[in-house]
């Protein structure tokens, strides 16, 4: 579910810097959370202050006192909310961190894919090294962007954009949206782009991510993505191609196409986004 704009919005809405974790309550505790038991997690987190909060790709990272970093990845269906009081667990609540100001950080995740880890500095550096550059860096450096695309010339553009080792933070929605804006076919091989097309792709990625962050992310009709106390993002209204199979392309009227892609879908306009 959440891609870079949703993770960024989630992080900004939490405003947890300076708070101290009073208790960690694990409910329907996930095997994807470490330490492996609620008691051990509580022991590891209780009394620690959150002294920093940042995002890397789709990871939410909370710097704690004593040099530890709490890492949260929401995967497909996770949300991280900041709720008042001592919130009760609903059916999908997996973890509640009670804070010192009578609020709580609450992880909800119907599909149980979300991951939580407590990392040492070295473990964080190792994680960081597995991720490609942030789009806001690489897409503003024309030479580096060109070199990076050229280094993976055989790969299709959509697969490449979604590969977190290539660039960190882009997922299914924003890959399709960026490619639509750049008028590039999702299966076009990266090595076949002209210099102008490479530049256009970088500009399209920056544009769509910035607009999506400004709109506080994409909450689809199922309402799965929420942030803060449970607010929805507004970018679904601005999606130009994602999820629009059979509907007219907003640019040329040709019906948008959906093709199977890596167990999911790619949406594109067969007229505006030629494979050539």
Query: Is 264 noted as a catalytic residue in this protein?
Result: yes
The distance of closest approach from Cβ of residue 273 to DNA in the complex, given in angstroms and rounded to an integer, is 17
Query: What would the x/- binding string for DNA be over residues 207 to 236, using CB under 7 A?
Result: -----------xxx-xxxx-----------
Residues β-bridged to residue 105: 82, 97
Query: Is 58 noted as a catalytic residue in this protein?
Result: yes
The distance of closest approach from Cβ of residue 38 to DNA in the complex, given in angstroms and rounded to an integer, is 17
* Residue 156 binds DNA, judged by CB under 7 A: yes
- Measured CA to CA, the distance from residue 120 to residue 67 in angstroms comes to 7
- CA distance from start to end of the chain: 31
The distance of closest approach from Cβ of residue 246 to DNA in the complex, given in angstroms and rounded to an integer, is 12
- Measured CA to CA, the distance from residue 167 to residue 271 in angstroms comes to 27
- Measured CA to CA, the distance from residue 186 to residue 24 in angstroms comes to 43
Site stretch for DNA (CB under 7 A), options 10-18, 82-90, 132-140, 261-269: 261-269
Range 221-232 burial, b when 16+ CB lie within 10 A, else e: eeebbbbbeeeb
Q: Are strands 103-108 and 115-119 parallel, antiparallel or unpaired?
A: unpaired
* Residue 26 binds DNA, judged by CB under 7 A: no
The distance of closest approach from Cβ of residue 142 to DNA in the complex, given in angstroms and rounded to an integer, is 23
Residue placing its CB nearer to DNA in the complex, 252 or 259 = 259
Query: Which residue from 66, 85, 90, 91 is in contact with DNA, where contact means CB under 7 A?
Result: 91
Query: Which residue from 12, 23, 87, 164 is in contact with DNA, where contact means CB under 7 A?
Result: 164
- Measured CA to CA, the distance from residue 276 to residue 271 in angstroms comes to 11
Residue placing its CB nearer to DNA in the complex, 9 or 20 = 9
Give all strands (DSSP E) within 122-195, no chain letters. none
- Measured CA to CA, the distance from residue 144 to residue 139 in angstroms comes to 8
Residues β-bridged to residue 189: 156
Would you please indicate which residues are annotated as catalytic (active-site) residues? 2-3, 58, 264
Residues that bind DNA (CB under 7 A): 1-3, 6, 31, 57-58, 73, 75-77, 91-92, 110-113, 130, 152, 154-156, 159, 162, 164, 171-173, 218-220, 222-225, 258, 260, 262-265
């Amino acid at each position: 579910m959440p891609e870079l704009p949703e993770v960024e919005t989630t992080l900004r809405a939490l405003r947890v810097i300076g708070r101290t974790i009073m208790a960690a309550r694990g409910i329907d505790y996930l095997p994807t959370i470490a330490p492996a038991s609620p008691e051990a997690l509580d022991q590891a987190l209780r009394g620690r202050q959150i002294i920093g909060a940042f995002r890397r790709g789709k990871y939410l990272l909370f710097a704690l006192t004593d040099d530890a970093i709490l890492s949260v990845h929401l995967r497909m269906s996770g949300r991280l909310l900041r709720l008042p009081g001592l919130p009760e667990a609903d059916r999908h609540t997996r973890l509640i961190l009670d804070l010192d100001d009578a609020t709580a950080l609450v992880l909800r995740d119907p599909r149980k894919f979300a991951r939580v880890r407590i990392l040492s500095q070295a473990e964080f550096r190792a994680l960081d090294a597995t991720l490609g550059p942030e789009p806001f860096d690489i897409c503003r450096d024309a030479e580096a962007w060109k070199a990076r695309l050229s280094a993976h010339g055989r790969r299709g553009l959509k697969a490449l954009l979604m590969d977190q080792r290539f660039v960190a933070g882009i997922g299914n929605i924003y890959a399709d949206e960026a490619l639509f804006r750049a008028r590039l076919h999702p299966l076009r091989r990266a090595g076949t782009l002209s210099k102008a097309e490479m530049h256009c792709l970088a500009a399209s990625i920056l544009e769509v991510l910035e607009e999506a962050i400004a709109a506080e992310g994409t909450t689809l009709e199922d309402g799965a993505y929420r942030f803060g106390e449970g607010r929805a993002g507004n970018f679904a209204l601005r999606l130009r191609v994602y999820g629009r199979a059979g509907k007219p392309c907003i640019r040329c009227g040709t019906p948008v196409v959906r093709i199977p892609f890596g167990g999911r879908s790619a949406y594109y306009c067969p007229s505006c986004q030629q494979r050539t």
